[in-house]
Amino acid sequence: MESLLEFIRIDMGSPGLATLVSNPKFAFIQLLNSVSMGMNFFIIAAGLSLIFGVLKVINFAHGAFYMFGAYIAYSVTETMGLSFFWGVIGSAVGLVLLSVVIERSLFRFVYDKEHLMQLLLTFALVLILGDVAKIIWGTDQYSVSYPASLSGATNLGIAYYPSYRLLLCILGPVIFLALWLFIERTRWGRITKAATQNREMLAALGINVPIIYTGVFVAGSALAGIGGALASPFNSPTPGMDAIIIVECFVIVIIGGLGSLWGTFVGALIYGFVFNFGSVIVPNGQDIFAFLILLVVLLIRPWGLFGRPETEGQ
């Protein structure tokens, strides 16, 4: 108990915490850093949650799709000389093409299989795609320039903040709203939700369920590619970057609830705040706080904050 109290005293006296309390401008910047980080995580993790919510596949290869998105953005912007936003579009298109091939040739055979077989398949894909990335782009670490129009800072009154990170703060909620409106307010969204409940009945009504599954997998993979492209200016494309992001994404979707769009959004924000403020208060200890929150959520609600417990037959 004495050692725990001593840790608390040291933590409360840390320069980072003191600066947060005494400097509102610094605290405001860290607040925006947390939101921008969380929104970038949300864009990536939303694809993972969408795929599991509809297809019931735990896709470990999602991190590899993120890595390919970052590499494609590098190729389009730095090698081909096009603008950064063309790099984002190129990453989305590239992941659409790649995911169509993977889904039609591999994933469609494991939808009815147990999770262990799905995990083995996706883990094999991680190894294969990792080697393919090394063959195409090598093992060097690359850098992607910020878009010229967003390379500066924006005056927010309280402080100046990087325009590009401010864009992420706005883009995340926009993508969340677009996904929510599609799922809740469109015919195809309702069909997609129905596919999660009873695909046999949906097929009996004349709906092409395999096309729905392909579309969901492609959309989720494209979100991973877009997230990789958006992260490439501050997270340099490099081999192995997929292993880090997939762990972070699983923490987010488990906290929020697998398959829940709202849960993924809230979980990404929680992770962004915990990671960013944790790194300020206890440098190099931010991962501890994130996993502690994951542990607490699993103990209280094993199905996540916005998830639902599985019933027999699901």
Lowest mean pLDDT among 114-118, 203-207, 222-226, 288-292: 203-207
Render pLDDT for 133-168 as a digit per residue (tens, 0 to 9).
999 999 999 999 999 888 889 999 888 999 999 999
Please check the confidence at residue 11 and state whether its pLDDT lies above 50: no
Domain presence at residue 252 = no
- Predicted local distance difference test score (pLDDT) of residue 180: 94
* Residue 5 vs residue 113, higher pLDDT: 113
Domain presence at residue 1 = no
Please check the confidence at residue 5 and state whether its pLDDT lies above 50: no
Mean pLDDT over 88-98 rounds to 97
Please check the confidence at residue 2 and state whether its pLDDT lies above 70: no
Domain presence at residue 98 = yes
Mean pLDDT over 252-259 rounds to 91
Domain presence at residue 293 = no
Mean pLDDT over 241-258 rounds to 92
**Average pLDDT value for the chain:** 87
Domain presence at residue 3 = no
- Predicted local distance difference test score (pLDDT) of residue 277: 87
Domain presence at residue 276 = no
Domain total of the chain = 1
For residue 244, report the phi and psi dihedrals to the nearest 5 degrees: -75, -45
Q: CA dihedral in degrees (221, 227, 229, 234; nearest 10)?
A: -150
The domain in which residue 224 lies consists of 36-240
Lowest mean pLDDT among 83-97, 175-189, 279-293: 279-293
pTM: 0.89
Render pLDDT for 23-78 as a digit per residue (tens, 0 to 9).
788 889 999 999 999 999 999 999 999 999 888 888 999 999 999 999 999 999 98
- Predicted local distance difference test score (pLDDT) of residue 173: 96
- Predicted local distance difference test score (pLDDT) of residue 281: 81
- Predicted local distance difference test score (pLDDT) of residue 96: 97
Mean pLDDT over 195-219 rounds to 85
* Residue 15 vs residue 21, higher pLDDT: 21
